[in-house]
Structure 1
Amino acid sequence: MSYGAQQSDLATTWAQLEAGIDPIMNKLSDGLSYKSWMDLYTTIYNYCTSSRMCNHNDEPINGSSSNRGANLMGADLYSNLKTYLKEHLDALKVKADQQMDEDLLTFYTREWKRYTTGTTYVHHIFAYLNRHWVKREIDEGHKTIYDVYTLTLVTWRDHFFGGGLGTIQPKVMDAVLKLIEKQRNGETIDSSIVNSIVDSFVSLGLDENDSTKPTLDVYKQFFETPFIAKTEEYYKMESERFISENSIIDYMKKAESRLAEEDNRVQMYLHSSSQKPLILCCENVLIRNHTGPIQEEFQNLLDQDKLDDLSRMYGLLSRVPESLEKLRLTFEVHVRKQGLSAIEKVAESAQAAPEGEEDEEDEPKGKLAASAAPKKAGDVDSKTYVDALLAVHQKYSSLVETAFRGETGFGASLDRACREFVNRNIVCEKSSSKSPELLAKHCDSLLKKGSKITDEHEVEEVLNSVMTLFKYVEDKDVFQKFYQKQLARRLVNQLSANGDTEESMINKLKDACGFEFTSKLQRMFQDVALSKDLNDQFKEQTARSAEKSDLPDFQILVGGTGQWPLNATTTKFNIPDDLLKTYEKFQSFYQHKFSGRKLNWLFHLGRAEIRANFVKQNGKIPYTFLTSTFQMGVLLQFNAAPSYTFAELQTNTSLDPATLKSALFGLIKSKALIVSNEKTSDPETRYEINKAFKNKKTRVKVDIPMRAEQKAESDETHKGIEDDRSMVIQAAIVRIMKTRKVMQNQLLVTETIDQLKARFRPTVPAIKKCIDMLLEKEYIERMEEQRDMFQYIA
């Protein structure tokens, strides 16, 4: 066969193929029948496997084998197909040049769909060529050879789409950007057109080294880059115009809406990889470029409690993380001011409200009535004070959780602000330990009988709130001391409303501060349980005694000296005859049971119930007086005589004048006794039983403490705290020096503060005083060469 015959065979073959391909590519038929597909496939197969390239002696041309001949003939088909595709696209290009804007996009998407559908059929028709000739060429490293479908995409990309002169891409992209701008301006568009164009850009991304691997290079270069640039330009102009004509609140709403639109735009028709650069671009233009004005509005929103707008502002500025720091600082200052303001209102209210204050000394007129003396700033009601602190914390804690999505930075700002106004406010001016003292008093009012809150769950919630404030208290040792004293009184006087609630509170404190913080509190409960058994055993023994009927009902609480914060009084006390026998029997019972122990009686903490036999109504004894032990001792004197002078009562009870005056104060104030003259502590002042006594209650509390006693007790507690602190500071210094051996003064002070700040914040003068004490005790010494250096003495 001659070469001319070969060319004639190629021409015939291609004419047959073109006649079958042309209707498919131009959508002149609805599809390809199976017979037509097989005819075309067979034509390609016959041509590729023909050996007519050989000469009449059946020798291969140029020494090629029959296989090589098939390869060469495959190359001819491949080349003709490339030429056909280019000519087909040239015709499309002429038509495209006549289109503009949306018409061009409609034309492009329609022809792209037609082209990719048709070339899919063509790809299958040339399956034999793909499996053999194309595969072999690719295996041999020919980079410009692709499977037929990839060839169709490459031809569209390089010959029709492109990126240079004479190609359609610039016009298409310009029309797409105009269409998207219309949508941004509020017009309705057919987003499926943009979606189809994006899909075409993505499909045209082909790896030159491996045609089977798609890339996003075409999409990134020809679509995403100009799209992002146009987006930046559009929003830069819009944002600057809008923020100059509208309020910051309206601008934030606009920015929030625009960001949501752009995020939705990605879902509608952009490739997912564009989301990050698109949103980043919008954040820079809409938020970062206008951070200053937005931040300046933050204080106004806080002042007006605009929760929704604060949430919107946080949502926007959180996209630019560094912009939040200024908001956190503003928020911290605001919360601190609100806390201080709330406490100032509480203090002003306390000062404005007069309180009946019992006169401690004899006034010229000797009057026992209340005087309208205004309170001091520190004399606020514990509940009012704690409620004010909680109200501020709860308000802004809720704000952090809702508006600021619980962000840790704002949480830390809230904590710093709360720590500041809890520990340093107008109530704490004279004593930095006032907050923990009032917090402990509030706990006492919640946990003892008579509390206005009786529901266990509600009490539990309030105690949880108290623990929220407790974490901000710096002087936790002050809280511990006052709480321990008040717990001791509740246990001694059986005033605890609920044992389970008491235990729950101790567990909360243990979780917050550790076992050591609550160890004494837990031991006190153990002593109460042991005392209950002790009382039961004493009653059993007494029940077997012949003198049982002569003994009054009696209960005693025995506590360990080291666990209970109770001190004995210096006054003497003559035990009334009515109690003496019981006292002696229990003393004997206890010594017999615990021979190595010694009982120290704290009569001033005892309580008694006394029937008022001197008053009768309808033949009944209507009143029971609730008294202290000392008041009981005074009242029982009146069984022997109707009246006594102050000196006589002092002789009979052996109480010192101050203690006796305190006991008489409650009896006079409750009108159980009548005083002959107004000088209550005059030795000749006479007291007698008020036989005309009347009261609305049948159980009358006459144990009313004087304010001077309460203040003295508070002062005593504070002095004990200072003494304890001195020992704790010294112990910390010794521990540090024992470890470091040698240390400079300033570093020692700093490390001491760091070690103790979880319990309390020691002052620098207190630390220096303790250092001097340790120098005197020769635990440490100054170094001769450097006087500000200390050395540990082993």
Structure 2
Amino acid sequence: MALRARHKIRAPRRGLASARKDDFDTLWDVLEASLNEINTKNASSLSFEELYRNAYKMVLMTRGEELYTKVQQLEENWLRNNTQQRVIDSIAPILLRSQQSTDIQDQSNEKRAAGEKFLAVMKEQWEDHQLCMGMMTDVLMYMDRISNKPSIFVAAMALFREHVVRATVPAEPSPTIASVLESTILFMIQLERGGHMIERPLVRHCVQMLEGLYDTITEEESSKLYLTMFEPAFLKASTEFYLEEGRKLLTNGDATAFCRIATQRIFEEHERSRYTLSQMTEPKVLQVLDDCLVRKNIEEVVNLEGTGVRSMLQNGQLDALKSVYTLNTRVDPSKQALTNVVKKQIVEMGRQINSTALTLSLAPTQRPEKGTDQSEKGKEKEKPLNQQTAIAIQWVDDILALKARFDKIWEESFSRDQGLQKSIMASFADFINMNTRSSEYLSLFFDENLKKGIKGKTESEVDALLDNGITLLRYVKDKDLFENYYKKHLSRRLLMKRAASMDAERQMISKMKVEVGNQFTQRIEAMFKDMTVSEDLSTNYKEHVAASADPEEKTIDLEINVLTSTMWPMESMISTRDGAVQLSCIFPREIDNLKRSFEQFYLDKHTGRKLSWQASMGTADIRANFQRSNGKVQRYELNVSTYALIILLLFNDIPDGESLRYTDIQLRTRIPDHDLIRNLQSLAVAPKTRVLKKEPMSKDVKPTDRFIFNNEFQSPFMKVRIGVVSGGANKVENQDQRKETEKKMSEERAGSIEAAIVRIMKQRKQLIHSQLMTEVLSQLSQRFVPDVHMIKRRIESLIDREYLERVAEEPPTYGYVA
């Protein structure tokens, strides 16, 4: 409806109210002629004040209702005889053909030109009608004021609706101007959706006309012709269009193209509703688009072979993934179709990482080719173990790379969606825990990086490295198993002084504490405390020795580590052999005297404690003299294991050139066979550290072999480090070690389960079986996932030992025995 200025109604002049009633026809003749001049846009010479006065007089004659009717009749005649005919004359035959039968490619130009002409005439006639009725309304203002009927302007709009818009076109099959207008606008939109340019302002003006016309004289909002006539047809056409669009795009089989076009369509409909049609239609047409194009096809698009989300994830197509995410979000807040494929792809890629690690770990060790010298043969023994450790570290690196890849996708393509993040985390946890060695591999990753991986890195880089590892720890379900391996590997780093940075070690503990809690790190923190206390203890012992009167105590420097046995992951050096107890190794007299001296010093300060010496974890620096055949003496400083020290000191007690058999060495040292063989291989087989000669010379050590001190040993270095073959570094456990670890963990878990059951029952006093199972699983889930059968066995064990009792059979109920 056009906006009109509001005019002040002037008071009538004296004498008008007494005008004679027979003057009405004369006044109407004048007014009618003037209104016709207005309709013909020839009103420049008219006096609106005079016209207003005439209309005013007619109303005062109590003929207002008759005046209202005459004006209506005048406008009806004008619209029927002039406006209607002009509009009908502008309708070209091509506009009367069925839209479905029109070939948009061949006839679009002709039909578009005809449509634009028709729309231009409609626009012109509508605007002329509004302008003329605005002027007439001003003239008839007083009539409208006292009338109880709709204003003459509203009545005239209704006349335009009935005698122009709904007028029948004299052509088969008797369409109305409204139906031609509807089909023409829809054709224009069809053209625009097909990529053609159209006269948007022209379409917009005609839409505004429909918005300004109502089905009812009371002009309710819901009765606008735009809503009752055009919009339903537009939404129906849009439904058909997007259903067909979806079929065509799926036929092409290109998910990226589908998402690009669908995203463009959403933008186009938004723009079309804002600038061509009506903003009232925007949510409705977008709903049609979502239902017919997106919701109907998104799952198939996501799963398209070769171009779907799986391919996008593999090829890092971030923009395409973002489009899929946006489209899926429009029709499904949970994004189930996208989430399912992402989860499946992560697990698939993770399984491939697991499979690669398993394949490499099972690959046979390459034997040295013929012609390989003894030096290369000496290295071959260690290769499989180093290879296994490298596989473990590569497994973690590959997972971190995969995690970084999906983190980027999550941030750039998935808008940091929290639901998708949970699904991604769950998928990583799924495939990581499929690898039964995940806890061990992750611990080896930390071990390698904390030994040498942080050298040369900035503080922020170290922090990022540790954070990456902690991220994977978050996914590991058996955190107690990880703790077991981490303590084992940490103990070697600390005792063998392999840690590159104690600050980084403590930083790692702080991060683990935040991630998994204090209980997880208590024992690890106790290990660091033992090391700190041991440093002070070593310093105090050195001061004690310096003040001692015994000169023999001063010949050897001792650096000691006193460890709390319950906090460190080392078994006592007592093992079984043939069912008998294996005694502790025999230390040389010099070492044994030093050992007794320290024990006395320590036990004087800590009464009631017991020291158990762990020779397998110690090292020693010794000076060795090699008597050459020419009489010269060559001196080297050797860094060896404690066991190697014990072996070498045996050769001080025999004449030069004499040998010791393997069985002699074993009898005089009581070093366990496994450790003795590895140390003798380091001293007599490793090509660069042969301070002993072995007869016969071979890679293996047998009970019949003899060993002689090698006075001809040479090295380009004065300080020579002699490592233990296959024993100096943390590495992946072999099958026997793995079984032993699993057995130990099973025992520890049984204790943890029993402790949890007792805690719960002590607090609750009585619980049915299902409730007790639920609470036990809940309490222990942060450390490991308890086996249901193991929980049942521990309940039975506690009943047998009278910690619990059965209260009822149905349902099974237990009570706590105080």
Corresponding residue for 1:382? 392
Structure 1 residues 245 and 381, CA, compared in 2 at 3 Å: closer, same or farther? closer
Q: Report deviation, 1:715.
A: 5.1
Q: 1:485 aligns with which of 478, 483, 488?
A: 488
Within a 5 Å distance, the mapping from 1:546-585 to structure 2 comes to 550=554, 552-570=556-574, 571-574=583-586
Q: Report deviation, 1:725.
A: 0.3
Q: 2:189 aligns with which of 180, 189, 192?
A: 180
How far, CA to CA, are the matches of 1:398 and 1:238 in structure 2?
32
Corresponding residue for 2:372? none
Corresponding residue for 1:524? 527
Corresponding residue for 1:97? 88
Corresponding residue for 1:761? 785
Within a 5 Å distance, the mapping from 1:213-362 to structure 2 comes to 217-237=224-244, 239-240=246-247, 243-244=250-251, 253-290=260-297, 293-294=300-301, 296-298=303-305, 301=308, 302=310, 305=314, 307-308=316-317, 312-321=323-332, 325=336, 328-354=339-365
How far, CA to CA, are the matches of 2:223 and 2:450 in structure 1?
70
Q: 1:195 aligns with which of 171, 179, 204?
A: 204
Matched residue of 2:640: which SS? strand
Structure 1 residues 208 and 46, CA, compared in 2 at 3 Å: closer, same or farther? closer
Q: Report deviation, 1:446.
A: 1.1
Corresponding residue for 1:632? 645
**Matched-pair contact (CA < 8 Å) for 2:694–2:705:** no
Corresponding residue for 1:169? 178
Structure 1 residues 677 and 170, CA, compared in 2 at 3 Å: closer, same or farther? same
How far, CA to CA, are the matches of 1:322 and 1:164 in structure 2?
48
**Matched-pair contact (CA < 8 Å) for 1:675–1:688:** no
Relative to the length of structure 2, the TM-score reads: 0.76
How far, CA to CA, are the matches of 2:634 and 2:416 in structure 1?
63
Q: Report deviation, 1:278.
A: 0.9
Corresponding residue for 2:800? 776
Amino acid of the structure 1 residue aligned with 2:360? S
Matched residue of 1:111: which SS? helix
Q: 2:712 aligns with which of 680, 691, 696?
A: 691
Within a 5 Å distance, the mapping from 1:275-674 to structure 2 comes to 275-290=282-297, 293-294=300-301, 296-298=303-305, 301=308, 302=310, 305=314, 307-308=316-317, 312-321=323-332, 325=336, 328-354=339-365, 370=380, 381-396=391-406, 398-399=408-409, 402=412, 407=417, 410-424=420-434, 428=435, 432=436, 434-449=437-452, 454=457, 456-538=459-541, 550=554, 552-570=556-574, 571-574=583-586, 586-587=598-599, 590-591=602-603, 594=606, 599-614=611-626, 623-641=636-654, 642=656, 645=660, 646=662, 649-650=665-666, 653=669, 655-668=671-684, 669=686, 670-674=689-693
Amino acid of the structure 2 residue aligned with 1:421? F
Matched residue of 1:469: which SS? helix
**Matched-pair contact (CA < 8 Å) for 1:482–1:717:** no
How far, CA to CA, are the matches of 1:376 and 1:289 in structure 2?
55
Matched residue of 1:297: which SS? coil
Corresponding residue for 1:728? 752
Q: Report deviation, 1:386.
A: 1.9
**Matched-pair contact (CA < 8 Å) for 1:638–1:689:** no
**Matched-pair contact (CA < 8 Å) for 1:726–1:766:** yes
Structure 1 residues 579 and 449, CA, compared in 2 at 3 Å: closer, same or farther? farther
How far, CA to CA, are the matches of 1:538 and 1:45 in structure 2?
125
How far, CA to CA, are the matches of 1:444 and 1:349 in structure 2?
21
Structure 1 residues 369 and 341, CA, compared in 2 at 3 Å: closer, same or farther? closer
Structure 1 residues 793 and 584, CA, compared in 2 at 3 Å: closer, same or farther? closer
Corresponding residue for 1:65? none
How far, CA to CA, are the matches of 2:198 and 2:366 in structure 1?
76
Structure 1 residues 686 and 239, CA, compared in 2 at 3 Å: closer, same or farther? closer
Amino acid of the structure 1 residue aligned with 2:798? L
Amino acid of the structure 2 residue aligned with 1:99? S
Structure 1 residues 12 and 704, CA, compared in 2 at 3 Å: closer, same or farther? farther
Q: Report deviation, 1:389.
A: 3.4
Structure 1 residues 550 and 322, CA, compared in 2 at 3 Å: closer, same or farther? closer
Structure 1 residues 3 and 463, CA, compared in 2 at 3 Å: closer, same or farther? closer
Percent identity for Structure 1 against Structure 2: 25
**Matched-pair contact (CA < 8 Å) for 1:47–1:73:** no
Amino acid of the structure 2 residue aligned with 1:344? S
Q: Report deviation, 1:225.
A: 0.9
Corresponding residue for 1:682? 703
Structure 1 residues 292 and 472, CA, compared in 2 at 3 Å: closer, same or farther? closer
**Matched-pair contact (CA < 8 Å) for 1:346–1:380:** no
How far, CA to CA, are the matches of 1:480 and 1:666 in structure 2?
31
How far, CA to CA, are the matches of 1:421 and 1:97 in structure 2?
73
Higher alpha-carbon deviation: 450-459 or 222-231: 450-459
Give the gaps of 5 or more residues in structure 2: 1-14, 92-114, 170-174, 369-376, 575-582
**Matched-pair contact (CA < 8 Å) for 2:618–2:642:** yes
**Matched-pair contact (CA < 8 Å) for 2:452–2:500:** yes
**Matched-pair contact (CA < 8 Å) for 2:188–2:198:** yes
Amino acid of the structure 2 residue aligned with 1:602? Q
Structure 1 residues 243 and 665, CA, compared in 2 at 3 Å: closer, same or farther? closer
**Matched-pair contact (CA < 8 Å) for 1:446–1:453:** no
Q: Report deviation, 1:349.
A: 2.6
How far, CA to CA, are the matches of 2:16 and 2:383 in structure 1?
132
Higher alpha-carbon deviation: 656-665 or 88-97: 656-665
Within a 5 Å distance, the mapping from 1:742-761 to structure 2 comes to 748-749=772-773, 752-761=776-785
How far, CA to CA, are the matches of 1:509 and 1:598 in structure 2?
32
Q: Deviations over 1:457-506 (max 9, x none)?
A: 44433333323332222211100111122222222222221233223322
Structure 1 residues 595 and 249, CA, compared in 2 at 3 Å: closer, same or farther? closer
Corresponding residue for 2:110? none
Within a 5 Å distance, the mapping from 1:104-123 to structure 2 comes to 104-120=118-134
1:44 aligns with 2:52: yes
How far, CA to CA, are the matches of 2:154 and 2:611 in structure 1?
103
**Matched-pair contact (CA < 8 Å) for 2:466–2:508:** yes
Matched residue of 1:762: which SS? coil
How far, CA to CA, are the matches of 2:649 and 2:673 in structure 1?
18
Corresponding residue for 1:360? none
Q: Report deviation, 1:436.
A: 0.7
Matched residue of 2:638: which SS? strand
Amino acid of the structure 2 residue aligned with 1:607? T
How far, CA to CA, are the matches of 2:251 and 2:737 in structure 1?
65
**Matched-pair contact (CA < 8 Å) for 1:179–1:189:** yes
**Matched-pair contact (CA < 8 Å) for 1:205–1:217:** yes
Q: Report deviation, 1:191.
A: 0.7
How far, CA to CA, are the matches of 1:766 and 1:737 in structure 2?
17
Q: Report deviation, 1:710.
A: 6.2
Give the gaps of 5 or more residues in structure 1: 54-68, 358-366
Amino acid of the structure 2 residue aligned with 1:630? Y
**Matched-pair contact (CA < 8 Å) for 2:641–2:724:** yes
Matched residue of 2:639: which SS? strand
**Matched-pair contact (CA < 8 Å) for 1:626–1:699:** yes
Q: Report deviation, 1:150.
A: 5.1
How far, CA to CA, are the matches of 1:384 and 1:696 in structure 2?
34
How far, CA to CA, are the matches of 2:718 and 2:132 in structure 1?
104
**Matched-pair contact (CA < 8 Å) for 1:307–1:403:** no
Relative to the length of structure 1, the TM-score reads: 0.78
